Amino acid sequence: MKKTNIVLSSFNGEKYIAEQIESIIGQTYQDWQLLIRDDGSTDRTREIVKSYEQRDSRIRLINPETTENIGLVSSFYELVKSERADYYFFSDQDDVWLPEKLEVTLESLRKAKLSAMVYTDLKVVDAELNVVSESYLAPNPYINTSLKDQILTNNVVGGVSAINHALAELWTTDQVFIHDWYLGLLAAAFGELIYLDLPTELYRQHAANVVGANQKATTMQAIKEARQQSSGFLSNYWAYFDKIKQLNLALLNSQGDKLSQEKRQLIEAFVSLDEASFFKRLKVFKFSRKNWRATVIFRLLYLTKLGRKS
């Protein structure tokens, strides 16, 4: 039997974490281990986790003696690297998994012959788990799992994603601003990025995660951070694209020598757009974003470098 690790990074999650753990315990697939790393909570989160650890031998807090806050990406990186498994499922602390989440995702992940990441849709709910939307991703018709599209657009939501060991082996740096997008890039570059068009969890929206206090590493959080560091539309835009550029550079720096020539050239074409001449920047037409409006804006700004500070 192959080993399945569920990894959860907690931070001041006392209000909802028990409900999330209960939803994991209630999965139809039961052969799993839940590894939790607490990232410096100051509330009762660690106490709650330790109570579950005593009740269920499959649940373990990997840092019972340390309380260092290292941030979400580094915390998940430590969790994945702490213990080898065949499959790794990422879990947020305040959502609720639907009963067949592990079973249906594993079915797809086991069929993958290469480095692979599988992710699914989600149901959006409020703080009391009332359904706000039956789908989180379906309103966006642009779900493309190719490398060309993953370079610029992230559809992967970490809490409904899972990777196999082959992909985990390729994850060698935590110096990225968002782990789910980076892993999606790795999967698209070296193997398979697979989307299952069905919801597998209740994605809770509440006051804490709107402002990012629970450390959800979503693309929207990155946009908000970029806006806080700058003012005006163009400054916001370029600050955010600097983050995307850094994500792609991280892949080149850590695994670039393993890429096929075609895929390496594709990523290099994007990260070199800033320094390229106008005519070389015409390569921007290779790339698309999540819809035609976003694509037109992206191509226009990169061609003209309007508002781009040197």
Each domain of the chain, given as residue ranges in start order, spans 4-210, 219-304
Q: What is the pLDDT of residue 229?
A: 46
Judge whether 290 and 153 are in contact, CB under 8 Å: yes
What the block records as the tokens of 92 is 């947020």
300 residue type, one letter: L
| Among candidate residues 71, 34, 49, 61, the one with its CA nearest the CA of residue 214 | 71
List per-residue pLDDT tens for the chain, 310 residues long: 699 999 999 999 999 999 999 999 999 999 999 999 999 999 999 999 999 999 999 999 999 999 999 999 999 999 999 999 999 999 999 999 999 999 999 999 999 989 999 999 999 999 999 999 999 987 665 577 899 989 998 889 999 999 999 999 999 999 999 999 999 999 999 999 999 999 999 999 876 654 333 334 444 454 454 444 445 778 888 888 899 999 999 999 999 999 999 999 999 999 998 888 888 888 888 888 878 888 888 889 888 888 887 6
Q: What is the pLDDT of residue 216?
A: 41
Q: What is the pLDDT of residue 145?
A: 86
Q: What is the pLDDT of residue 105?
A: 98
What is the CATH topology of the domain spanning 4-210?
Spore Coat Polysaccharide Biosynthesis Protein SpsA; Chain A (3.90.550)
Asked whether the whole model's pTM tops 0.85, one would answer yes
- Report helix angle 233-255 to 261-271, nearest 10: 150
CA–CA separation, 217 and 198 (whole Å): 22
Q: How many CA atoms lie within 13 A of 308 on its CB side?
A: 14
Q: What is the pLDDT of residue 141?
A: 57
| Among candidate residues 259, 293, 298, 264, the one with its CA nearest the CA of residue 281 | 298
Q: What is the pLDDT of residue 219?
A: 47
Q: What is the pLDDT of residue 207?
A: 66
What the block records as the tokens of 59 is 């649940």
Report which DSSP code applies to 46. Answer: H
How buried is residue 234: exposed, middle or buried, by Cβ count under 10 Å (0-12/13-18/19+)? middle
Q: What is the pLDDT of residue 250?
A: 97
